[in-house]
């Protein structure tokens, strides 16, 4: 027979110790999680984005080369670096939480699953082609009307 089961006071002390251990673990997890951040750069290094543990941008650094880019290209590089950084949060969290959580795979799976849902891997980068300036207007544009099919006759 388990001695703690026979003694209600011992059972309460044991529960209290378990609760205190879990509270300490939760506090340690919170402190470690609050320190997590991930930084990613664009392929040419002109854009650097840092996100915190919640995926919120905490730093954005642009080089002079970034400022010479077209606005659409610059915004695409900023968002690409941000999404890549966000997608790495789960791996970083798993790395820092493993020593605290240990073998508790259910807790780790629950924690990492939320990050994977919120921040999926971004699609592969596609190069942004510079936009061509608009060409000269077409002089023979009839506004989309096809006069050959016109039933009005000559």
Q: 52 has which bridge partners? A: 37
Residue-level pLDDT at 138: 54
**154 pLDDT band (50/70/90 cuts)?**
low
Give the pLDDT confidence of 64-119 residue by residue, as tens digits. 999 999 999 999 999 999 999 999 998 898 899 889 888 778 878 887 878 888 88
Give the pLDDT confidence of 1-55 residue by residue, as tens digits. 565 567 889 999 999 999 998 899 889 989 998 999 999 999 999 999 999 999 9
In the chain, how long is the greatest CA-to-CA distance?
109
Cβ neighbours of residue 66 closer than 8 Å, sequence gap 6 or more: 42, 46, 47, 74, 77
Cβ proximity of 42 and 61 under 8 Å: no
Cβ proximity of 86 and 80 under 8 Å: no
- DSSP secondary structure code for residue 49 in this structure: E
Domains located in the chain, CATH noted: 36-123 (3.30.1310.10)
Residue-level pLDDT at 141: 58
Which secondary-structure segment (H or E) carries 113? helix 105-118
Q: Is 147 a residue whose pLDDT tops 70?
A: no
């Amino acid at each position: 027979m388990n001695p703690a089961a026979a003694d209600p006071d011992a059972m309460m002390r044991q529960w209290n110790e378990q609760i205190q251990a879990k509270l300490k673990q939760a506090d340690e997890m919170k402190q470690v999680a609050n320190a997590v951040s991930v930084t990613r750069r664009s392929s040419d290094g002109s854009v650097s984005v840092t996100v915190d543990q919640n995926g919120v941008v905490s730093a954005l650094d642009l080089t002079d080369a970034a400022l010479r880019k077209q606005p659409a290209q610059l915004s695409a590089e900023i968002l690409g670096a941000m999404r890549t950084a966000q997608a790495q949060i789960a791996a970083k969290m798993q790395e820092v939480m493993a020593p605290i959580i240990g073998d508790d795979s259910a807790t780790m799976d629950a924690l990492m699953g939320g990050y994977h849902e919120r921040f999926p891997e971004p699609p592969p980068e596609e190069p942004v082609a510079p936009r061509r300036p608009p060409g000269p207007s077409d002089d023979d544009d009839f506004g989309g009307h096809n006069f050959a099919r016109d039933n009005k006759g000559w």
